[in-house]
Amino acid sequence: MVNDRNSFIFRSLSTLLVILVINFFLPRMMPGDPFSTTSADEVGGEIIVMTEEQHLYYVNYYGLDRPLYEQFLSYMKNLMTGNLGRSIYYKMPVSDVIMLHLPWTILIVVSATVVSTISGVVLGTLSAKNRKKGSDRIMMTGMIAFAEIPSFLLGLILLLIFSVYFRLFPLAGAVTPFAHYNGPTDQVLDILYHAFLPVLTLSLSQLTGVYLLTRNTLITVTTKDYIRTARAKGLGEKNVWIRHALRNALLPVVTRTGFMIGIMMGGVVLVENVFSYPGIGMTLRSAVVGRDYPLIQGILLVIAVSILICNLLVDKIYGKLDPRVVI
């Protein structure tokens, strides 16, 4: 047991180290540096053109002219003390920038996970119960066709239909700008209103996976002997399906949910940009455009760590759900 735990910690730490190395070197392999950007990203922003002197000054100021390994070591040293560095673009600590935007991302990722898992399980169960009947066939074909649409394209279509054409939902942002709320309920509603389309897009992109997994696992599980035993006991269809079939079929779905959060952390970058949603995905984009190395590193690190944490959690939960697994 102790050995297992140690090796688990060792594995996590070495994974983290690899991620840190990649995080550090990848942004620096892009052409240009934080000070060679000459265009402002936002419309109407000031266009700053630096002189050669100014450029060198800034490069020197941020220590970017030092050898790479020295920069890496100092990055690691700072990281040990919890210091992620300062954002060049935002001119504030990276951790502050991330704390400002991360909650929005967490909001839509978690909501999308909950929505897609629940609806996927429900639809998968319905499909499995009506296996080989018309409703199952239609649902299955539809879902598979649907899964082929990339999430950003889906987001664009939803945005065009619901926000541009029907004007049902906002085009951008997480809250109505300059709004005055009459109490917290209003505020929550406004946040949900803005989050609706991004969450919907993310959920839809994950729905098919959950649906297919639930349906197929359920179909496999219902051929198991213990389902026959449960039926023989005369427990009633509802009991058989929920207590015996679904309880077992959900085990792989739980595992999948963990991976799903990881996949969504990647997908959310695109979706946030489509909806101009102020999460870390949008921030990452502007950081990349501005070659804001410390910020890129910080955000990628947060994404990587959250994926690691999710996998860890899934393992723990699985151990609780399936007595055959010892963690």
Rounded least distance, CB 238 to other proteins, Å:
11
**Residue 176 exposed, middle or buried by CB count within 10 Å (0-12, 13-18, 19+):** middle
N residues, the chain: 327
Spatial distance between the Cα atoms of 307 and 81, rounded to a whole number of angstroms: 22
Q: Compare residues 221 and 271 and give the one whose CB is closer to other proteins.
A: 221
Residue 232 CB, nearest approach to other proteins (Å): 5
Q: How far is the CB of 207 from other proteins (least distance, A)?
A: 26
Structure tokens at 3: 């050995």
Cβ proximity to other proteins, 289 vs 327, nearer residue: 327
CA gap 199, 109 in Å, rounded: 7
Pick the closer one to other proteins by CB: 167 or 238. 238
Task: Please state the closest distance from residue 128 (CB atom) to other proteins, in A.
Answer: 14
Nearer to other proteins, 66 or 133 (CB): 133
- Cα separation of 323 and 69, whole Å? 48
What residues have CB less than 8 Å from 253, skipping those under 6 apart?
117, 120, 121, 210, 213, 214, 217
Instruction: Report the residue number, 141 or 229, with the smaller CB distance to other proteins.
Output: 229
Question: CB-based contacts of 155: which residues, under 8 Å, 6+ apart?
Answer: 197, 198, 201, 270, 271, 274, 275
H helices within 148-246, ranges in order? 151-158, 184-221, 225-232, 237-239
Q: Which residues bind other proteins (CB under 8 A)?
A: 224-226, 228-237, 239, 243-244, 247-248, 251, 321-324
Residue 127 CA to residue 133 CA, distance in Å, equals 9
Burial class (CB in 10 A: 0-12, 13-18, 19+), 4: exposed
**Nearer to other proteins (CB atom), residue 115 or residue 317:** 317
The least distance separating other proteins from the CB of residue 155, rounded to whole angstroms, comes to: 38
